Each structure stands twice: as structure tokens, then as C-alpha cells.
Amino acid sequence: MIPRGERNPYHQISTIKVLIEGRVQGVWFRGWTVENARELDLDGWVQNRRDGTVQAVFSGPDYKIQEMLRRCEEGPPLADVAAIKAQPHTHDVQRGFRVRRSR
């Protein structure tokens, strides 16, 4: 068994940047994202953007990233997700998951 917080060397690790559109600000989307990403033991960050979208970076095993994307499609109860756009992210990501300042 691999202890929590340690990576299984047999799982492919990926990092993606995600843009989430719809009613995603003012509905606790960032806090919800932090809770879910930490539950899945993903690294990365989430932030509000001035254009009303939410942007996030998720890093971890592919199967956990896919689960996080599935969860983001639903979002927290008051959210109304219209679209999710994902692309590979090549920058280094700090361990842990946190909220970044809005930009």
C-alpha cells in the first residue's frame, strides 16, 4: 500500500490547466474545488478570473484528474457549469492544492 500523499510510480502523472465557464463565481466553486482536489490528493491551484470564469491547474495521476474533471462538470450545488476547456500545462506545480488570488 502506498501512503497518502505519495505517488504510485505505476500511474501516469499529468498536469492540465482548466477553464470553467458558466455561473461559477459567487457559488463557492473555489472552496469546493479545493476540497475535492485534496480528497483526490491532487496538486495545483484554483482562482477566479476577471471575466467571470474559474481557472484551475490539476496535477496527479490521470485517473484522478479525469475524476476531478467529472466532478467539475457538476460543480457545487449553486453552480451552473456551461463549459470546461482543458489543455496540457507544462509549468511546475507546488505540492498541495490551494486558492490563488483572483486575476
Judge whether 36 counts as a catalytic residue.
no
Cell numbers for 36 = 475535492
Judge whether 100 counts as a catalytic residue.
no
Q: Which of 48, 50, 70, 100 is catalytic?
A: 48
CA 95 to chain centre: 13
Q: Which of 4, 7, 8, 30 is catalytic?
A: 30
- Please list the residues that pair with 85 across neighbouring strands: 19
Query: Is 41 within 8 Å of 2 (Cβ atoms)?
Result: no
**Residues annotated as part of the active site:** 30, 48
